[in-house]
Amino acid sequence: QVQVEESGGGLVQAGGSLRLSCTASGLTFDDYVMGWFRQSPGKEREGVSWISPGGVVTAYADSVKGRFTIYRDNAKNVLYLQMNSLNPEYTGMYSCAAGRRYGLEFGQWSNAYWGEGNQVTVSS
């Protein structure tokens, strides 16, 4: 049984940093593209970043470029999202997904394995 679980969220002041983690079990981790998505209040879920199975290729939404870094440790089956210079616009539920396709469109991850999400709240 595949399990995906996020951790590391919480409350942080604007300008602060957080690191999210995502563990995946029950699958061959380094066979999967891994992605982070965010759903903010009143908005649809949006892609934040993805990383290739080997960790060489990454992509980011324009809104987070230069602030967020995605990386993975395939030996430990863990995905990370380092978030710096946070502002209230980044508040939302952050979810991790393991999929087979590259891209930030939610529809490209329809067959992915998803975690339940972890709340990040940035106060002003």
Predicted confidence at residue 66, as pLDDT, reads 97
The residue ranges of the chain whose pLDDT is under 70 are: none
Q: Label residues 81-96 b or e (16+ Cβ within 10 Å = b).
A: bebeebeeebbbbbbb
pLDDT at 4: 98
Cα Rg, the chain, nearest whole Å: 13
